[in-house]
Amino acid sequence: MLPSALQPSDYPVSFGAYVLLECLGRGAFARVFLAELQGMAGFRKLVALKVVNDSYASRAADFIREGRLCGLLKHRNIVDTYQMGMHEGQLYIAMEPVDGISLAEVRSLGWCWRSASRSAEVCPMPTPCRDRTGPWGWCTGT
């Protein structure tokens, strides 16, 4: 079982066929780790590993539904889902890792979202965006 509170000095941590390298983020429902899948003959692949928190184990059906749906999706603006599984009673989803900054960092910079050419982009705004008239409630930018 994966400890609920891992410190930076605890890494790397083994989790089944994965080695957790660092925690990328955490929420009420799950934590996401940068991990390395280690297979036979030296096979290695970096993944983002989403692991359900112990307190939400009762909502396993929601997580399984998420994993199934993500596995069906294929689009250039959606990360690939590699695997859904369980290790020592904890559900996880292995996904394509994405370089960049977190949503919290985007918000702290005062940036907002806008729609351009049918894809989402980040646009720098000098103050927090208040224009919610764009598609999907994103700002239209200027």
Contact 93, 50 (CB under 8 A): yes
Contact 126, 110 (CB under 8 A): yes
- CATH superfamily of this structure's domain 8-95: Phosphorylase Kinase; domain 1 (3.30.200.20)
The two structure tokens encoding residue 60: 């396993």
**Whole-model pTM?**
0.71
Return the domain boundaries, the chain. 8-95, 103-137
Residues 13-67 pLDDT 10s? 999 999 999 998 888 888 999 999 998 999 999 999 999 988 777 788 888 999 9
